[in-house]
Amino acid sequence: MLRPVEWRIASMAAVVLFAVSCVQRAGSDAGFAAAQPREDAWRWDLPAGFPEPVVPADNPMSVAKVELGRRLFYDPRLSSTGEVSCATCHRQELAFTDGRARAEGATGELHSRSAMSLANVAYGASLTWADPGLSTLEEQALVPLLNEHPVEMGVAGNEERILAALREDAEYAASFRDVFPGDAAIDLRNVVRAIAAFERTMLSGDSPYDRLVFGGEMDALSRSAWSGMELFFSERLACSECHSGFTLSGPVRFVGAESVEPTFHNTGLYDLDGYGAYPAEDPGLVLRTGEARHMGAFRAPTLRNIALTGPYMHDGSVGTLDEALQHYAAGGRTIPAGPVAGDGSRNPLKSPKIRGFELDADERAALLEFLEALTDPGLVTDPALSDPRATLPSGPGRSTRAASE
Ligand code: HEC
Ligand code: HEC
């Protein structure tokens, strides 16, 4: 039998070898398929080990487009009240979430769901908490702009007024001409193309965990975080069976990858009636598919930067990471009283991977430390992802991420 320290080294080597093989595979795939238009000289500056994101053929990347998208992402004129931008609910310092349990739109209406982190959103095989049909950032951006149930930015019904305000802005007029030659209309189609290009540069891959796995820095994690990593990847806890791959999320797409189906899971957060009912406000995937067995199923969101993105779960009903661990350890959440009372661990629609497990105090601390080691300080401070109104007029300087060299 291996002594604990030998086992630790063996499993460490396994993790690193696995990571290296991913890097090599991704690298060669990307190399073969990197057929980007050359005229705008776009060059990805990807975190070590990250493959090249898929970009729709009709919306190629360019430096100027990303910069325009950045301005639009932070522009509150894109709302009925002139007060709400994408960044209202996706704040850089919170890894592009909003710190609220449930998002609040321009009219004060509460969304049924919690705003999601946009870190590495370029890779999602499906977007949002539970929609297998939504796969491009261009399409997705129209949702908050136009949504009426609930109102998020409130553009629907106000399109002409809002677009007229953008058209009067000489800087926008010049940028749209530059970015979309021959098709420079300041309309929603071009607005979302630019925003999507900016979102594709929101890459996050410089956490202590990455420095270990992709950078080979053996001391990037504390001993405790290292044990937490072993627990995370263990069969007993099974976290990595759903929060998997380099995004620690559901299935990903990238250049050269085989196409994958999005996946959704019921983690047993609720069971209102003994038959698996979730609160009517948000039953999850069943809303899209109409299939009863999809009640309570949601996408496994990214765990990158998770220490910054609480409260947790699709409805923000889990306040802390410690509470999230209690939920998993119990194999589902029990809510003793109130309108959503029930024993989620007995939810018949729950994923078989949510089995419950014992965790002693040291293990719990270790796992929390590992989750904290998934925070990438670069993402939340990168000037290229920040509000340009705060950094201009010194010029739209680009920093290291996704720079064109
Ligand atoms: C009112 C708050 C709010 C605003 C404003 C908002 N979002 Fe979101 N965003 C959310 C919520 C809530 C979700 C989860 C939606 C769902 O699951 O149905 C989300 C999800 C997303 C996702 C999916 C992330 C993933 O990992 O799948 C993307 C991308 C996104 N938003 C981009 C944007 C863009 C671009 C804008 C501006 C055009 C924007 N959002 C404006 C609240 C907001
Ligand atoms: C069966 C697949 C599955 C397994 C196994 C799993 N998760 Fe999850 N995880 C999910 C899904 C799905 C969600 C979203 C659930 C919801 O909102 O209803 C989630 C949400 C989370 C969240 C909240 C994320 C956020 O942005 O709100 C955390 C934290 C988390 N999981 C950690 C873990 C840890 C730690 C483990 C191992 C102990 C684990 N998960 C095991 C599927 C899984």
Q: Is the pLDDT of residue 8 over 60?
A: no
Q: How many Cβ atoms are within 10 Å of 220's Cβ, its own excluded?
A: 17
- Smallest Cα–Cα separation from 373: which of 320, 309, 326, 305? 305
208-372 topology per CATH: Cytochrome Bc1 Complex; Chain D, domain 2 (1.10.760)
pLDDT at 86 over 90: yes
**Predicted local confidence at residue 102, as pLDDT:** 98
**pLDDT at site 390:** 84
Name the token pair of 139: 């399409």
User: Across residues 81-109, what is the average pLDDT?
Assistant: 97
Q: 86: Cβ below 6 Å to ligand 1?
A: yes
pLDDT digits (tens, 9 = 90+) for 55-68: 999 999 999 999 99
- CB 8 within 8 Å of CB 218: no
- The pLDDT value recorded for residue 24 is 37
Q: Which of 265, 333, 340 to mutate to test the pocket of ligand 2 (most atoms within 8 A of CB)?
A: 265
Q: Sketch the domain layout of the chain as residue ranges.
A: 208-372
pLDDT at 34 over 50: no
Closest CA to 404 of 149, 56, 84, 39: 39
Residue 249 has pLDDT above 70, yes or no: yes
* Residue of minimum CA distance from atom 40 in ligand 2: 239
CB-ligand 1 contact for 194 (6 Å cutoff): no
Q: How many CB atoms lie within 10 A of CB 269?
A: 25
Q: Per-residue pLDDT tens for 143-202?
A: 999 999 999 999 999 999 999 999 999 999 999 999 999 999 999 999 999 999 999 999
If you count DSSP H runs as helices and E runs as strands, how many of each does the chain have, helices first? 15, 2
DSSP assignments along 209-245, one per residue:
HHHHHTT--TTSS-HHHHHHHHHHTSTTT-HHHHSBT
For residues 23-29, give the mean pLDDT.
37
Note the pLDDT tens digit of each residue in 102-116.
Answer: 999 999 999 999 999
Rounded to the nearest integer, the mean pLDDT of the chain is 90
CA 57 / ligand 1 centre spacing (Å) = 23
